[in-house]
Amino acid sequence: MAAELNDPSRYSTYVDPEFYAALARHTAELDEPAAPVDAATRDACAALLYREARLLDEGRLEDWLELFVPECLYWMPMTPGGGEPTTEVTLAFDDRRRLEDRIAWLRSAYIWSQIPRSRTRRSITNIEVVQAQAPGELLVRSNFVVHDVRPGYHATFPGWTAHRLRAEGDSWLIAIKQVNLLDSDQAHQNLSIIF
Amino acid sequence: MSTTRERATGDLYDQLVLEDRVHRRIYTDQDIFTEEMTKVFGACWVYVGHASELSGANAFMTGTLGGRPIIITRDAGGDIHVLLNRCLHRGATVCRVERGRAKRFVCPYHGWSYANDGSLTGVPWPSGYAPEFDPAKYSLGRARVAVYRDFIFATLHPSPPAIEDHLGAARPLLDYWIDRFPGGKVTARSGAHRMDCQSNWKLVMDNSTDGYHPAFSHRALLQMAQRLGETKDMAYFAESPDDGDMYCRYLGNGHSFIDQRPNYRKPGDYWATQRPTPGREAIEARIRAQYGEEEATRLLDLTVGSQMNLSIFPNLLIIGNQIQSLRPVAVDRTILLWQATTSEELPEELNTLRMRTQEDFPSFGEPDDLANFGECQRGLSIPEVEWVLMNRGYGIEGRQSLDPDGGVTAPTTDETPMRGYIHHWKALMQSDTPVVAEGVA
Ligand code: FES
Ligand SMILES: [Fe+2]
């Protein structure tokens, strides 16, 4: 049982008060001055973001999930820029298990909010990469526009993303993906896609 | 479109609302929608917000009352006012932000200023007005306000019933829901899930106590919940829901109810059947270690929804832990707000877990309902197919029972609540209560 509890796909043991405290530090760190990275690291980060965008646009959600560390967070705050997730609801606060749930939901043949399926295409710009305070981690800011098109429906979602990347061997994995919709606190018709 | 002749004879709604069915036009007709904004959303007690959102003196928030822009204020003395957000001079809104703190609202157009109880406190260069014009006699339009245990209701009815009478048989159920929170005190979080629903508001009301749909409309959610091989919350809707102890009930006054509580028999059942939530195991371990078995079980059950769907006509839906409200925008468009709730008296980490719980259904349940509501609206655009059937459970001997208080109880999947509320709606549409804003000289 104890070993099983360590499986973040089945049990959520890591989203504890320390995790929320670390998340608050993550949000604060985004606004603090930090050392830039070399061009090669910056290019590697941009390539990761572009690859991530392509996997999502092509609906390769399981491959997309492999870009994340096991104890990851996919977070879409409702309060612009972050807010206080310990006392506020969010548009998404997915640990690994809920992210797998989300993919299972999206894979269902009976998900009426996604029938017909969205065709998405996203543009990513203004990529800024800095060293995070934790060794072996980077903070990446980028802007995005996501087009979500279904027959008779076209939504455009502008916003910005903060990725916290963690070194894993000689590549980078996503520890936190924080998606900030510009109108995160306003009403939307359909937010069923992954951003 | 309704014709003048039908209106004059007054039998339009007798033609559109039958015992077991309603005409599509009640969802699609622009004139009917316009009339509803007066006869239903003007003349009924309408939920406009929760007092915990207005913390401290001079707090305010904006909202709508049947499409009318309103400002909900708490004055320096603590009294709550619902003001029409419309300058008396030439009509500009005087407040343009969603919330904040202000003792007065100064109209941006020509500078007329209003105290937060609505009274007109000044007009620039008053010598330009004739002596008969006395600003002290004027105020922003005011709705009548009733605050029931922090739920703020407003109406333009000139002599509305007491809010307790309006709530009627829904009142003890609302009390039960509020009293589930420690100290009987609910804190509504201002950052609500907001959804832009492409349907008439009544399609959302029809659904609010529809026990027929979950097995189908929420099939993706139910599938998702079985991913880890356990039966979770709501699964009973998919397995002969009419055979168990659940039931639906029309409560009178347009209110209705689905009671899922009979599926939860002993302490810990709520917690045990909750769908997986981020942090569930982490926080459960802490709570159990800190509070001991019995108290921990009681607390953990409180992180889970109340398992009752209470629909309070015309726009307040109590679902799980959330306060949902409807704001009609157009005949085919409704904004839905899902306010999350916390309790000041629960351990902090349980409130955090409650936030994660309250993200579950808005994320994985409501989008599929919204898709269906929008597609109903599209289907109802077809003029040749006129009727919307609400006849499930209708006309079957002994299937529903009359409650002593005048309500009707029926098996969960019956459309009894729908038939009840729509007849209440019809009576309102056939009445001619004048609606008035107080304070407008
Ligand atoms: S419209 Fe408000 S002061 Fe003129
Ligand atoms: Fe539903």
Residue B1 C-alpha to ligand 2 middle, in angstroms? 31
pLDDT of residue B2: 47
CA distance B19 to chain A (A): 31
Instruction: Return d(Cα B370, Cα B201) in angstroms, integer.
Output: 11
Check residue B5 and give its pLDDT: 44
Question: Which has the higher per-residue pLDDT, B232 or B187?
Answer: B187
Q: Which pLDDT band, with edges at 50, 70 and 90, does B433 fall under?
A: confident
Minimum distance, in Å, between the CA of residue B45 and any CA atom of chain A: 24
Subunit contact A105:B221, Cβ cutoff 8 A: yes
Calculate how far, in angstroms, residue B214's C-alpha sits from the geometric centre of ligand 2. Answer: 6
> pLDDT band for position B1 (50/70/90)?
very low
Fill in the amino acid letter for A10.
Answer: R
CA B208 / ligand 2 centre spacing (Å): 7
Q: Which residue from B83, B86, B104, B107 has its CB within 8 A of the most atoms of ligand 1, so it is best to mutate? A: B107
CA-nearest of B326, B382, B432, B372 to B25 is: B382
The whole-angstrom separation of Cα B19 and Cα B234 is 30
Contact B281 A5 (CB under 8 A): yes
The model's pLDDT over B124-155, given as tens digits with 9 standing for 90+, comes to: 999 999 999 999 999 999 999 999 999 999 99
Give B228's pLDDT tier (boundaries 50, 70, 90): confident
Test A187 with B221 for CB contact under 8 angstroms: no
Following DSSP, what letter does each residue of A114-182 receive, concatenated? GSSPPEEEEEEEEEEEEE-SSTTEEEEEEEEEEEEEETTEEEEEEEEEEEEEEEETTEEEEEEEEEEET
For residue A75, give the H/E element and its range.
Answer: strand A68-76
How many angstroms is it from B296 CA to the middle of ligand 2?
Answer: 30
Q: What is the pLDDT of residue A3?
A: 65
The pLDDT of residue B234: 81
> Which of B189, B196, B367 is nearest residue A113 as measured by Cβ atoms?
B367
Contact A105 B193 (CB under 8 A): no
Q: If you average pLDDT over residues A151-159, what whole number do you get?
A: 96
Q: Residue B197: which H helix or E strand, with range? A: strand B193-197
pLDDT given for residue B390 in this prediction:
98
Our CA-based measurement puts residue A163 at a distance from the nearest CA of chain B, in whole angstroms, of 20
Local structure of B385: helix, strand or coil: coil
From residue B236, give the alpha-carbon distance in Å to each of B220, B304, B372: 15, 16, 21
A79 touches A24 (CB < 8 A): no
Q: Six-digit token pair at A71?
A: 């104890």
Closest CA to ligand 1's atom 3: B110
The atom number, within ligand 1, closest to the CA of B112 reads 3
Q: Which of B288, B308, B260 is nearest to B350 (CA)?
A: B288
The CA-based dihedral angle spanning residues B249, B251, B257, B263, taken in that order and rounded to the nearest 10 degrees: -50
Contacts of B356 in chain A (CB under 8 A): 15, 93
Residue B199's pLDDT is 98
Which ipTM value was assigned to this complex? 0.96
Per DSSP, B196 falls in state E
Helix pair angle (B348-364, A96-107), 10° resolution: 10
Q: B228 and A111: CB-CB below 8 Å?
A: no
Put simply, the answer to whether A89 touches B340 (Cβ < 8 Å) is yes
Nearest CB to A89 within list B191, B281, B335: B191
- The verdict on the CB of residue B108 being under 6 Å from ligand 1 is no
For residue B7, what pLDDT band results from cuts at 50, 70 and 90?
low
Q: Which residues face A72 on adjacent strands?
A: none
Distance (Å, rounded) from C-alpha B265 to C-alpha B287?
Answer: 22
CB burial of residue B151 (10 Å; 0-12, 13-18, 19+): buried
In the predicted model, is pLDDT for residue A4 greater than 80? no
Pairing of strands B21-23, B193-197: unpaired
Q: Which two tokens stand for residue B322?
A: 């959330």
| Residue B110 CA, closest ligand 1 atom number | 3
